[in-house]
């Protein structure tokens, strides 16, 4: 115990001696062209901080939003409140998003990750290179109207092309377009099940069975219809093709 007290007393008496030593692992090097390279310690700290934003990035910057919204609308259209469960829908959306985003990841790996691992570019250069494929993907799925709306809000009213739009403007425009597209696709899936509900309700009313809920009777017919048309394959194929895959 006394040794710790002696060490603490020495630190209080001569703080400059410890300050002069500094932390050699935390350094920032300025290059000749004005760019800066950060030490591995700072890079690891930045990566650990960025991990907290990964869920938001996966949801808002990939195909995940469109897929999960469509699947949720489909479940509501069939009339099944908890089947498939939320965990199943999230898992399906996640792995289908991985399938759709695989070409984009390959571009990011070839243009940014691998050159950075080979020490051919700095961390900031790798980050800028990684943003380009993601930006191109989001722009390909974003409506011009949504892009113009957020560009005007941000004060970027004079842009030569959508590619000149800042990354921070592309993200909200992409999310808005994804929600719009998801509701359109969900509406198309909703119509056949709505027709089944109307037919069943009309038949029950004609038979005088007003006390019997049409939802109970129509549910087996909707499930049978969905199975007969190979619904899951149709839904997954439609979602994948909506991003330009297989076209």
pLDDT digits (tens, 9 = 90+) for 41-51: 666 666 677 67
Per domain, the residue ranges of the chain are 61-243
CB 213 within 8 A of CB 201: no
Paired with 30 in beta bridges are 36
pLDDT of residue 245 exceeding 50, the answer is yes
At which residue do the structure tokens 């965990």 appear?
A: 87
Average confidence (pLDDT) over 61-80:
89
How far apart are alpha carbons 113 and 186 in whole angstroms? 36
Looking at residue 13, its pLDDT comes to 43
Q: How far is CA 159 from each of CA 3, 153, 155, 169, rounded to the nearest angstrom?
A: 66, 13, 10, 12
pLDDT of residue 8 exceeding 80, the answer is no
Looking at residue 23, its pLDDT comes to 45
**Backbone φ, ψ for residue 156 (5° rounding):** -100, 80
Lowest-pLDDT range of 38-52, 77-91, 182-196, 213-227:
38-52
Cα 73-77-82 angle, rounded to 5 deg = 75
How many other CB atoms are there within 10 angstroms of residue 75's CB atom?
18
**Token pair recorded at residue 112:** 């940014």
pLDDT digits (tens, 9 = 90+) for 135-184: 888 888 888 888 888 888 888 777 777 777 888 888 889 999 999 999 99
């Amino acid at each position: 115990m006394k040794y710790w007290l002696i060490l603490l007393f020495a630190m209080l008496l001569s703080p400059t001696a410890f300050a002069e030593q500094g932390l050699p692992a935390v350094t920032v090097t300025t290059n000749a062209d004005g760019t800066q390279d950060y030490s591995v310690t700072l890079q690891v700290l930045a990566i650990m901080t960025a991990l907290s934003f990964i869920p938001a990035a996966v949801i808002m910057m990939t195909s995940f939003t469109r897929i999960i919204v469509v699947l949720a609308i489909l479940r509501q259209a069939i009339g099944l409140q908890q089947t498939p469960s939320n965990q199943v829908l999230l898992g399906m959306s996640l792995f289908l998003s991985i399938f759709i985003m695989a070409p984009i990841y390959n571009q990011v790996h070839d243009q940014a990750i691998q050159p950075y691992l080979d020490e051919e570019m700095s961390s900031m250069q790798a980050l800028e290179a990684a943003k380009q494929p993601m930006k191109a993907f989001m722009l390909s799925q974003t409506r011009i109207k949504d892009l113009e709306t957020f560009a005007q809000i941000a004060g970027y009213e004079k842009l030569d092309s959508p590619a000149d739009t800042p990354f921070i403007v592309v993200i909200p425009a992409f999310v808005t377009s994804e929600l719009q597209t998801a509701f359109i696709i969900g509406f198309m899936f909703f119509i056949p099940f709505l027709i089944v509900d109307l037919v069943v309700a009309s038949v029950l009313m004609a038979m005088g069975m007003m006390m019997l809920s049409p939802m109970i009777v129509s549910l087996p017919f909707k499930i049978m219809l969905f199975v007969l048309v190979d619904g899951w394959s149709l839904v997954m194929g439609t979602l994948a093709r909506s991003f330009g895959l297989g076209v």
